[in-house]
Amino acid sequence: MATVRHRRLARELRRLREGAGLRPAAVARDLGWDRSKISRIETARTKPREADVAALLAMYGCTGPHRDELLALARDARRRDWWAAFGEVFDGTFVALEDQAAEICSWQPQTVPGLLQTEEYARAVITAARGCGPEEAHRHVQARMARRPLLGRPSGAPHLDVVLDEAVVRRVIGGPDVMREQLSELWAAAHRPNVTVRILPFSAGAHAGVDGRFVLLGFAHEDDPDVAYIESAAGDLYPESAEEVTRLRLAWERLRGAALSPKDSAAFLAELSRE
């Protein structure tokens, strides 16, 4: 899946072409390109070079600040971000979307979400889930810890809204000391202005998240639709239909409604940590 900036650029280039009354074949012919190149650019299947974007904008009559903004998007779409250093750990798609999100809604029935994991908790989770040795686990832990500064960015930090199944905070992962540290970290995170933590108690019974974990990413730009992300052992999924994203959004709202309030959840975490 293309990043938010890349998709925005693709949409705008198509809108400008259509506004200029030009067909893809005509644009490709005048620029000496293969027609499929226009299609790949406008569907975000390829990242255009800045020079190519400049040529398209000139043909479409786009000038001034709007032109500058789109050229900046083209540069951003091709830049090498921090996650490229961890290419063997993840492909960068989710962290790129996460990095650009204004809101992250995360339903987690098994483990604490990666953005709130302590280093030792993350190590225990990764080692158990992947069955890997110390060196591979260490590399994955490094990658996970590299995501954490996102929540503390001085400007543009997203709001993280988390619902955790009670099983997540009761299951002792990594031993009592590791779990106690993780619960303390969760409690502290719950008091940050851009983090909300809710606990879904066992007493809630059957609930809207019984099918498994998912994440919804919302973006500040009104033209950028929500992105749904479902992580599983079989691979990562990004449901793209509006109907599926809406279904997950409604499930999220029901989960929040069934969970303890943020205040009661913080008290629950404090009590559990003392136990």
- Percent of the chain topping pLDDT 70: 93
Identical fold between 4-78 and 84-116+150-274: no
82 close to 90: Cβ distance less than 8 angstroms = no
102-132 pLDDT per residue, tens: 999 999 999 999 999 999 999 999 999 988 8
**CATH architecture, domain 84-116+150-274:** 2-Layer Sandwich (3.30)
DSSP state at residue 171: S
Asked if the model's pLDDT at residue 82 lies above 80, the reply is no
Name the residue ranges covered by the structural domains of the chain: 4-78, 84-116+150-274
Long-range CB contacts (< 8 A, 24+ apart) of 137-145? 139/86, 139/88, 139/89, 140/89, 142/86, 143/83, 143/86, 143/89, 143/90, 144/114, 144/117, 145/119
Distance, in Å, from the CA atom of 230 to the CA atom of 216, rounded to the nearest integer, reads 9
| CATH number for region 4-78 | 1.10.260.40
Distance, in Å, from the CA atom of 166 to the CA atom of 174, rounded to the nearest integer, reads 17
Nearest alpha-carbon partner for 78 in 6, 4, 8, 9: 6
